[in-house]
Structure 1
C-alpha cells in the first residue's frame, strides 16, 4: 500500500493547536514556486526533493493556488459520485501529482530558534521534505498541519519540497459537492517556537445572563499570564475568574475584548467574546435566550483562483450577508479559512463549524464500504475532528461543531462525536446524516418540506423504532442544516418556512443552500460549470446554486432572503392608523433604527417623513401612530401606497447610515373614479384591404390574430402554457417522481398548435375562439378573445378554459406579442424593482419603475425563465420605434425580452442569447410557482397552477 493510500491520517505532523496571533517571528513562504505536474505518480520525477535537483525546466506557480486554475490539469465537478473507482482506500494509477519546490533564506535572527512549518490547506495529500529530509505526510485538505523543523532549518538558503497528489485515501472522506481542485491552496508559513512559549491556548469564556457576570478560564502552558486590560483582569492561566458587568458577545452585538496570554518568551493575542451556549427545555439558547438561525451554507470559492479566497473577498462576502439580514453560516462542508472565523467574531455571525468529512459517493452503493464505519479510517476520522476543534476552539462565533455532511452512519462518526463532547462540552455537536441523532445534541434535517417542519415543530414527527432514542430526539431543538435550495430562479416558499420558525420555539431556523454559485471564470467573460472541462462524470449546472453570482453580485433571490429574514417586522394598518412594530432580534433593541415613510400616488412620491422608532427590547412589540398627513393628504386619481422603512441611524461596520433593514407597504387609498367626461364610443369592426380592423388593431380574418397595432407589425401568440424551464423545474429530489421540465415536455407544452374555431363580430367587437393543444394528446385549452376599442385603445378580454384531461400543471397562462426591435425601455406601475414570482415576491414593492429591456433580464449562468414583473397595472414601452401603452384589469405579470421563450430555453449560457428582430412581451394571468423541488419541498398548493378557468383583460394603445 502506498503512503497516499494508507487510510490513516498521515505521519510526522505535530498535535493540532489553536490558530492564534503571536509575537513570535513568522516567515511567509507564499509566493512563486517551481512546479511540475505529472499525470501519474509513476511519471513524477525521482529525487526532486534534493538540493542538486535541476528544476530549471519546470514551470512557475503561485502558492497558495489550485493548480487546475492555472492551466495545469483541469477542474472537475461532481456532486455525489466519486470521479474514480470506489475501492477504499485505493486510488487509480492515473493520479495527477504536482511537485512544488521553493528556496528561501532564513534570517540570521532565526539561528537556533525552534520552528514549525505550517500548511493551512493542501488538497488532498502532501509529502513534505525540508533540505532533503522528509518531514512527513498529511491528509485532510481543509485542515492545518504543522511539522517541527527545528533540526532541519539552517541559516541562509533552505529548500522546501512538497509532492501533492490529487487522489488519496483522504479523497474518500472529501466527497463534498464542489469542484475537485488539488494544490497547496492556503498559506505556507514558517513559525518560530521559542523555548518557554505559548504552545497552545483554550479560552473558556462564558456569560451568566442572570448576574451579568463573565466567567473566564484560560488553559495554556504553566506559568502563562492572562491579561484583559479593558476589564482590569490579570491572572494566571488555569485559574478561573469571574468578571462582573461584562458585555456579552452575540451575533447581533459582537462585543470582543482584547486579551493576551504571555510567557517570558512569547505573547499570544486573543479576542474574547463572553457567551454561553446551552440547550434548555429542548431549545438552543445563547446567553439564556433562544436564537434563530437565518443562515446560509457557504463553500469557499473564487471564480479565478478556485479554492484560494483572498482576505478582501472574505470580508466582502460577510458584509453582503450582513446587509441582507443573514446572521448565521454553516461552513459547508469543511473548516473555512481561519481568517473568516476571525471576521465572523468581529462582524457577528453564528457559525456551525463543520469538519472536512463527507462520503456521499457511497450512498448510491447502499453505503457499502462506507469509511464512516470502517475501522481502518477511525484514526483519520478522529484526526480531522481534532484538527477542526483545536484550530477553532477560541472563536466565540462558533456555537456548534458539526461532524461533517452526508457521510451515512458508523462507529467513526460516533467516536468523533464522543471525542468532541469530551474536549469541548460547551458547544453542542451536530450531524444530520443519522436520523436517530444518537450521538449528537440537535435534531437536524435537510430539505424537509413545510409539512414536515410543521410536524417537527409540534414534536409530532414520525417516531423512531427505538422509543428511548425517539424520546431523546423529540426533546431536541430542531435545525434545518440545508433548506430552500437556491439555483437559478428560485427557490419559492421562503416566507412559509419563516412563519414556522416563529410559530414553534423548537424550530430554530436553518441554512439556505447555498451562498455562492461556483462558476469558474472563462476567457469570454462567462462562467464554466460541470462538464465544461471534459469531465467523464459531472453534475452540470448543479454547481450553480447560490444566492450570489461568482463575482458576489446578488441574485434576485437574495433580496427575497433579506425580506424574509428581517429582524424587525413592520405592518401598516391603515384602518387603525397605526404601524405595528415587532422586534424579532434575539438580543438587540431597536435604538439603532429610525422609521422613514413615503407616500406615493401611482408610484409618484407626494410626501415623506420620519417616525420615531420605539425602543423595543428583543421580542417586544408596539404600535406607532401613523402621521395624519400620510392618511389625509388630498388625493389624486390613482392608487395611494404608504411605504415605511426601518433604516440604520448611524454608520455600522457592515453598512452605512440609512441602510434599510426592513420595510412594509400598504395601500391607503384606492383608485378614484375619473371626473365625468365624454367616453369615446366603441369603434366596432370594419374591413380594410382584406383585414379586420378594430380601432388601432388589424386582425387576420382567417385566424383572428392581431397582426398590427397602429404603425407596428405584431406577431401574436394567442396562448402560452409553457416557460423556459428553471433549474428547479428540471430537478426533483424524489427519484420516483418526474421533474416538471420532463412532465411539461412529455405533455408538449412547448410545442402547442393552434386551431381557429371561430372569428365572429358581435357586441361592437371581434370575438375569436382558438383551440390550443399539443400533438399526440387530447387535452387542450380554449382561448376566447373579445376585442373591443374605444378611442385609440384596443382591449382584449380573454377567457381560457381547459379542455379534456390534463395530467400536468401548466407553467403559465399568458399571451405573447412580438413588436419591432426599436423599443428599449419599460416603465411600469406594479411590483418591482426586481422580478417577482407567485411564491417568491416578498421583496417586491408596489411602485413606478423604469428599466431598459437589458436590465429587465437576470443573467443566470444557465439561462431560464426570469425577469417577470408582477402585479403590473400599466406599463409603457418606449424607444426609437415609438411608445406603446398597456394596462391590465386589474393586474398581470409582464415579461419583456429581446428573444423568444424558445431561444431562452435552448441557450446553455448567457452568451447564446442574441437580440432578434423583435421585442417579445408576455402578459401572464398566472404562472406556476418556482418552488424548490431540488430540496424535496413540494410546491405549496396556492402556487401549483393546475389547469382551470381563467379570465383576464388587457388594453393596448
Structure 2
C-alpha cells in the first residue's frame, strides 16, 4: 500500500532534519565497530506517495525488491538516470517545495551483531545520504537527516538485538535540502558513504578538540585538549603522558606541520574505557600584514578544486582512488585542495594530513540556481533556512576540526549573500578562531577573512596586487583565486602569467585550478565500445552538456596535458641560465632544497652525449643561488643542457629519482638547413617533375614525393574548436564560423615558372564574404629534396583571429610512427607550452592524440627542427623547418574531429592527415574565464613558412591517399 502524503511533510521542510545526536569529531577508537556496507534490498518508487507503507516492519515482504550496493548511487545501478546541470535546478524553483514526482529509494538491511558485541550505548552513523534520509531501526523511527555530504549519528543502543536487526532507510532524490546543493555536478542519489554501527562505551570519549599551536619565533609548540572531564591525551614522542582535558603543555623544539613537511606526532586521546588514536600536527594560521601565513611564513596555493568522483561509482570513491588522486597531485606539484563544494569523505582529509596538502574545507552549500532569478528567494537570506545553514557549518567544523591540513573554512560556494551566511560565519569565528574564513560570495569581506575571486583576469589580479582594486578593506587582505584556469578540454592557457603575478605581489597568494577530474560516466554502446558520457547523454531534458568535463585528469585518472603544464608552471624549484651560470631559485613555502639532487644531461640533436651531477648548495625557501655551468664536451649539431632536480630519497608519494623540476638552456645553436636547389622543372607526359616531387601541371598541387603518394599541401586555417574556443561571452568559435573559416574554399590564381622554381598562386576564402588569404607556394628542389616557401598575405578586412595558419596534407596510412626533434613529448600551444622541452621524441600517430572526452583540437607539437613519419619498413618522409614549425598528425581530418561528440565518433581513415603549422591561436580559459591573452592571439598578417621535404626509404608498397 502506498504511503499517505502527510507522512512526508519533512521532505519540504527547510529545517536540517531531526533525531540525530550533536555533531562531533570523526574518529575511530578501540571500541567495537560494525560496517553495514554491502548488498541491501532496494526498491525505487517514482514519487513520494508511491513508496510503500511499512518498510520498517519485520513482517514486510521485500521479496520483489532487487539488491543494490551500499555505498552507492541508485542511478548507477540501473534505477533511473544521472542528470547534470551546472547552475539551473532540474526542477521548478518554488522553495522550499520540491516536485511530487520525487524518486524515492527504499533500502532495507538485515544484520546480526557479532557475538562479542558489548551491551552498552551505540550510535548508528551515516556519512552521506543524498538528499534526504528517513531512518528506522527495528521498527523504531530514528529521525531524518539532510545535508547530503555530512554525517549524522543516531543513538540506537537500547534498540539493538543480537540477531535479525532490521535497518530501513527511505531516501528521497529531492528535498528542501536540494536547494542548498546545486553544486555543478551530477545529480546522483542514495546512501553513498559508509554506514557504521559504533559502540560507545560508558565513560568513553564523547568528543574532543586538539589544539596544537606553533610559535615560529621560538619553535615551541603548545598542546591543549578540549574534552569532557576525565579525558586525557598521551603523545609519547613528546613526553606527554595523561595530559588532562583543559590543561596545556608547552613543548620545546617541535617540528611543525606543513604541506611540504607534514610532520605528525602519534598519540592517543583516552579514558579508562576507550582509546582513540590521534595524530598531532603543530601549526598556526594567521592573517597579518595583508598576507595569509602558516607558522609565520607566507604560503602560496598551487591548488586544485576537487569534486569526489569516480567514472563507475560517482561520488563513491574507493580509498585507493583517493590515494591515487593525492599521489598524482603531489607528483605534479599540487600543494593545496579546495574541497569543492562540500566536505569530502573524512578519510580524504586523513590522507591530506599524511601526505601534506593545504586544505580549504567547504560547507555543503550552493544555491547557484537562484542567480537565474536575480537571487530572488535565495535561501541565503531567508530566515526559514537559518538553522540549515548553521547546521551544515557546525557538522563540517565539528567533524573536521582536528585536521592540521585544514587551514581555512569555507562557507560554501556561489550562494549569493545574506544573513544566514553571515550567521554561519559568526558562529565559525567563535567556535574556531584558529582558522580564517573563506567565501567568494562575500564580495566586500564583511564576514570573511580573505579576499577571494573566481576567474579574475590577469589584469584584475595585477590591479589587486598593486592595491588599486576594490575598497580599503579588500586592499588589506590576502587575495586568492578560489577558481581559475578552467581546465575544460584542451587548456587552460595563461597559467604562467598567473604564476608571475603570484610571485610579483605578496598579497596574491595563488589559487585553485578548476578542477581536478573530468566527471565523465563510463558508458558502453551495443558493440561493447566504451566512452565517457556527459550532460544530455542520459536523455535529460535540462542539462549543461560537457561542462562537467573540466578536469586536469581524465575520468579514468589519466593525466591530461594540462596537468603536466600545471606541474611545470608551479614547480617549486626553478632552474634557469643566468650570466653564464645556473641559477637555482627555491619557490617552496617552507622546504629547503636539501631533499633534492641535481643532475645534468647534454643532448646533441636530442641524443645524449654526456651527463653528470650538479653540486648545488642548500637553498632555503625564498632564496636563490648561482652555480657554475658544468664542463661540457664540444658538440656540432644543435645541443641543449637539461638540469633536473629529483628526490634524493623515497617519499610517501614518489620514489627517489622522481623529477620535481627541470630547466633547459641552449649550448650549440642549430645550423641552417642547406637550401634545396638545382633541380630542373621537367614536364613528362601529364606530370610536372621537380627533383623528387611530382605535380599536377594544371593545378600545381603536389601528388607524389619520391614515389610516396601525397595530397597537398594546401593552406589550412581551421582547427576543431576547443572547449575554450566555444567559451562563454563572445566565443572565438562563433566569430570563426561567422567568418566561414570552417568552409574555406581554395581558388587557383595561376602557376608560373621562375627559372627552376614552380610558383603556385592561390586565394583561400570563405564563400559569400569579401575577405580571404592569398597564398603563394614557391617550390624548388634538388635530386633528393623538395623545398617549399609559403608566402601568405591577408586580402580584405578580416573580422577575427585565425584558428591556425599552416599547411595540411594527406599521406599514406602506413606512415604510423612519428619521430621529431623539437618540443615534447606532450602537446603544446602558444600559451600552454611550459611543460614541453627540447628533445628527440618518438610516438605512434595514434599515441599523438589526446582523447579529450569531447573531441577537439589536440596533439600539437611545437618548435620542430625536423619531423620523420615512417612506416614499419622505414619508408616515409622527413620534414625540416627553416627554422621551425609545429605539427599534428592524425587519422581523421579537423572536420571529422569537429563533428564528433564523443571519442567513439572518431573512425580512423586510410590516410594520415598531417598539419605543418606556422602558428595556432592560443587556448585561453574562456570556457569559464579569460580568453586568449593578446600576445597569443593569431591575427591575420603577412607571414611565411619554409619547409624542406625529403622522402626516405622504399615507397613501393604505399597506398594512395584519399582525396
Q: Same fold per TM (> 0.5)? A: yes
1:330 aligns with 2:338: yes
Counterpart in 1 of 2:506?
505
Q: State whether residues 76 and 530 of structure 1, in contact with CA within 8 Å, keep that contact through their aligned partners in structure 2.
A: yes
2:376 is matched with 368
Decide which of 678, 701, 719 is 1:705's aligned counterpart.
701
> How big is the shift at 1:74?
0.6
The CA deviation at 1:624 is: 1.1
- In the aligned structure 1, how far is the partner of 2:667 from the partner of 2:286? 46
Assess if the C-alpha contact under 8 Å between 2:708 and 2:876 holds in 1.
no
What secondary structure is seen at the aligned counterpart in 2 of 1:591? coil
Q: Does 1:747 align with 2:739?
A: yes
List alignment gaps of at least 5 residues for structure 2.
Answer: 1-7, 951-963
Taking only aligned residues, the RMSD between alpha carbons, in angstroms, comes to 1.2
**Residue 102 (structure 2) aligns with:** 95
Distance 1:728 1:456, change over 3 A: same
Aligned residue runs from structure 1 range 577-656, under 5 A = 577-628=580-631, 630=632, 633-636=633-636, 638-656=637-655
- Matched residue, 1:562: 567
| C-alpha displacement of 1:356 | 0.5
Residue 217 of structure 1 pairs with residue 224 of structure 2 = yes
CA contact (8 A) 2:646 2:658 kept: yes
Structure-1 residue corresponding to 2:35: 28
Distance between the aligned counterparts of 2:696 and 2:671, measured in 1?
A: 38
Q: Is the counterpart of residue 893 in structure 1 residue 893 in structure 2?
A: no
Q: Distance in 2 between matches of 1:134 and 1:849?
A: 65
Match of 2:961 in 1: none
Aligned to 1:721: 717
Instruction: Give the match for residue 475 of structure 2.
Output: 474
- Are the aligned partners of 1:591 and 1:613 in contact in 2 as well (CA < 8 Å)? no
* Residues 292-691 of structure 1 mapped to structure 2, 5 A cutoff: 292-461=300-469, 463=470, 470-523=471-524, 524-573=529-578, 576-628=579-631, 630=632, 633-636=633-636, 638-672=637-671, 682-691=678-687
Does structure 2 retain, via aligned residues, the 8 Å contact 1:447–1:480? yes
The farther-off stretch of 692-701 and 407-416 is 692-701
Q: Give the distance between the partners of 1:251 and 1:412, measured in 2 at CA.
A: 32
Q: CA separation in 2, counterparts of 1:617 and 1:572?
A: 19
Following superposition, the deviation at residue 151 of structure 1 comes to 2.5
> Would you say the 8 A contact 1:873–1:888 is kept in 2?
yes
1:142 to 143, 149, 155: 149
Measure, in 2, the Cα distance between the counterparts of 1:680 and 1:245: 72
SS at match of 2:530: coil
**TM-score computed with the length of structure 1 as normaliser:** 0.97
Of 14, 17, 30, the residue aligned with 2:21 is 14
Measured in 2, the distance between the counterparts of 1:494 and 1:552 equals 21
Instruction: Measure the CA separation in 2 of the matches of 1:155 and 1:377.
Output: 41
- Per the TM alignment, residue 243 of structure 1 is displaced from its structure 2 partner at its CA by 0.9
Please say if residues 713 and 820 of structure 1, whose CA atoms lie closer than 8 Å, have aligned partners that are also in contact: yes
In structure 1, C-alpha distance between the alignment counterparts of 2:21 and 2:685, rounded to whole Å: 92
- Alignment correspondent of 1:260: 268
Aligned residue number for residue 848 of structure 1 = 840
1:289 alignment counterpart: 297
Aligned to 1:130: 137
Question: d(CA) in 1 for partners of 2:427 and 2:654?
Answer: 40
Q: Structure 1 residues 323, 111: CA separation in 2 closer, same or farther (over 3 Å shift)?
A: closer
Distance 1:764 1:127, change over 3 A: same
Cα shift readout 1:712-733 (whole Å, capped 9, x = no counterpart): 222115211110001111112x
Change in Cα spacing, 1:153 to 1:673, as seen in structure 2 (3 Å) is closer
Matched, 1:63 2:55: no
In the alignment of these two chains, the number of paired residues is 937
Displacement of 1:671 in angstroms is 2.8
Give the conservation status (yes or no) of the 8 Å contact 1:101–1:161: yes
Cα distance, 1:56 vs. partner?
A: 1.3
Pick from 198, 206, 211 the counterpart of residue 191 of structure 1: 198
- For residues 864 and 943 of structure 1, do their structure 2 counterparts lie closer, same or farther at Cα, with a shift above 3 Å needed? same
The 3 A distance-change label for structure 1 pair 124 and 673 is closer
Conservation of the 8 A alpha-carbon contact between 2:86 and 2:183 = yes
How far does residue 434 in structure 1 lie from its aligned partner after superposition? 2.3
Give me the whole-angstrom Cα distance separating, in 1, the residues matched to 2:81 and 2:114. 38
Q: For residues 744 and 297 of structure 1, what CA distance do their matches in structure 2 show?
A: 32
Q: Report the TM-score when normalising by structure 2.
A: 0.96
Deviation at 1:825, TM superposition (A): 0.2
Deviation at 1:936, TM superposition (A): 2.6
Aligned to 1:72: 79
Q: Is the 8 A contact 1:111 1:154 kept in 2?
A: no
- SS of equivalent to 1:211: coil
Q: Secondary structure at the match of 1:758?
A: strand
Q: Does the 8 Å CA contact 2:677/2:780 hold for their aligned counterparts?
A: no
CA distance in 2, matches of 1:702, 1:942: 40
In the TM superposition, residue 262 of structure 1 has moved relative to its aligned partner by 1.0
Structure 2 residue aligned with 1:780, among 748, 754, 772?
A: 772
- Corresponding residue SS for 1:819: strand
Q: Deviations over 1:777-812 (max 9, x none)?
A: 101000011100122111110111011111110001
2:797 corresponds to which of 805, 811, 815: 805
Q: Deviations over 1:804-846 (max 9, x none)?
A: 1111100010101111111110110000011111100000000
Map 1:786-935 to 2 at 5 A: 786-880=778-872, 882-935=875-928
Q: Kindly indicate whether the alpha-carbon contact (under 8 Å) linking 1:9 and 1:380 is maintained by their aligned counterparts in 2.
A: yes
**CA distance in structure 2 between the partners assigned to 1:680 and 1:798 by the alignment:** 15
Distance across 2 between alignment mates of 1:565 and 1:80: 31
Distance 2:834 2:600 in 1: 19
Structure 1: runs of 5+ lacking an equivalent: 464-469
Moved over 4 A (4+): none
CA distance in 1 between counterparts of 2:348 and 2:531 reads: 27
Kindly indicate whether the alpha-carbon contact (under 8 Å) linking 2:33 and 2:196 is maintained by their aligned counterparts in 1. yes
Contact kept? 2:25, 2:402, Cα under 8 Å: yes
Native 8 Å contact 1:108 1:156 kept in 2: no
CA distance in structure 1 between the aligned counterparts of 2:473 and 2:772, rounded to whole angstroms: 54
